[in-house]
Amino acid sequence: MARAARIVAGLIVVALLTTTFNSIGSVNLTTAGFAYLITVLLIAARWGLVEAVTASVAAAFCLNYFFLNPLGTLHIDKAEDWVALIAFLVTSLVASQLSDVARRRNSQLEQRQSEMERLYAHSRSLELEKARTQDLASRAEAARQSEQFKSTLLDAVAHEFKTPLTSIKAATSAILTSPSLTAEQRHELLSIIDQETERLSRLIREAIHLARAESGKLHLSRNLFFVEELVRETLKQSASSQNGKRIETNYAMSMPAVNVDAELFILALKQLVDNAAKYSPEDSPIRIAVEASADSVWIRVHNQGPGLSERERTLVFERFYRSPSTSEKVPGTGIGLSIAQDIVKAHGGYLDVESGPGMGTEFSIRLPLAKGDQP
């Protein structure tokens, strides 16, 4: 209906122009031809090719009938008049096509600019949220072991939740409002949603277990599990945070089963793997080794990061502690290792760290084997 209305409007414009020329009476063929041509170009630029072609055919008819001898007929006597009429029609059609192409390209450029502005606004929001999260984490560290501890904890955790939610909202909005997104752009936005959803789930689990550990209500639901099975599940859950790092595992022969709360123990292991992934260089692997003695099982997670100083080793398990040398570069709140230590202690074991410049960092979990902790 809209196109039909535009076609009729174009014909009306041609008719009005013809009526005006006839009322003046002194308009020659050249003047009328240029006037019709300009009108057709304006219609093509404003509405489109179909409307312009219709107007150009109508203009050619009017030019023949009212301005070519013999006037008032569609008959043409002179060959040069045929040439003039055909040249006008071809020129108007070609110019209409070119004008329509330019109009569509301009529309595409405007649409692409709008999409780029949305993506830029999305990336800016992510950067701002990251900066605000880092600022909150720094304030939490300064308030550590003070009367503001619990309020700072709540503030940091609440804002950690807001960051992935903001990213998810921005990505879904971009998908819903930009139907012309390329497959690559859509895949990138869906990847952001997947990663931030997993991050949100992890934050919720960490917050719940931290609250339980803080209140002394970290109750265990134990069963026998093989350590290899627990490590495999840990690596599966932490796949999105490994950043493509290579994982090397080494298990001793004849490993006994351990009596643990699987959900909590996997969470503790995941903190160590995630920590190793954050600080490992791009080209170095994360090594996980499992050993057993007569009364214990040892699980070691090693990375080739920059290593910790002696002072940092004494502080690394404290809540909200972030190394000054990496806190600006590596995201986090400083509660992951504290959660891991609380969980390991609840199982009757202990978590230790060995580190130094040039040797990387290795976290070791020792779990005692009670009688009956055999498959």
Give the integer Cα–Cα distance in Å for 278 and 20. Answer: 78
Q: pLDDT value at position 95?
A: 65
Q: What angle do CA 240, 269, 221 make, to 5 degrees?
A: 115
- With a CB cutoff of 8 Å and minimum separation 6, the contacts of 275 are 301, 303, 336, 337, 363
Domains in the chain, ordered, with CATH? 2-107 (no CATH), 223-368 (3.30.565.10)
**What predicted TM-score, i.e. pTM, was given to this entire model?**
0.50
DSSP state of 257: E
Query: Which pair of tokens denotes residue 350?
Result: 């202990």
Q: pLDDT value at position 145?
A: 45
Give the pLDDT band (50/70/90) at residue 146.
very low
Q: pLDDT value at position 229?
A: 93
- Amino acid identity of 303? N
Tell me the chain's radius of gyration from C-alpha atoms: 37
Token match 């502005």: residue? 117
pLDDT top residue among 281 and 51: 281
pLDDT of 148 strictly over 50 = no
Give the integer Cα–Cα distance in Å for 263 and 265. Answer: 6
Q: Is 300 helix (H, G, I), strand (E, B) or coil?
A: strand
Q: pLDDT value at position 141?
A: 54
pLDDT top residue among 345 and 90: 345
Task: Looking at mean pLDDT, say which of 102-116, 220-234, 276-290, 306-320 comes out highest.
Answer: 220-234
Give the tens place of pLDDT for each residue, 237-275: 887 677 778 899 999 888 888 999 998 899 889 889 988
Q: pLDDT value at position 232?
A: 93
Give the integer Cα–Cα distance in Å for 305 and 265. Answer: 24
Q: What angle do CA 112, 114, 120 make, to 5 degrees?
A: 100
Q: Report the largest interatomic distance among the alpha carbons of the chain, rounded to a whole angstrom.
A: 118
Give the tens place of pLDDT for each residue, 186-196: 888 888 888 88
pLDDT of 16 strictly over 80 = yes
Over residues 126-136, mean pLDDT: 68
Give the tens place of pLDDT for each residue, 22-64: 777 777 777 777 777 777 777 777 777 677 777 777 777 777 7
Q: What b/e sequence results for 89-103 when a residue is b if at least 16 CB atoms lie within 10 Å of its CB, and e otherwise?
A: beebbebbeebbeeb
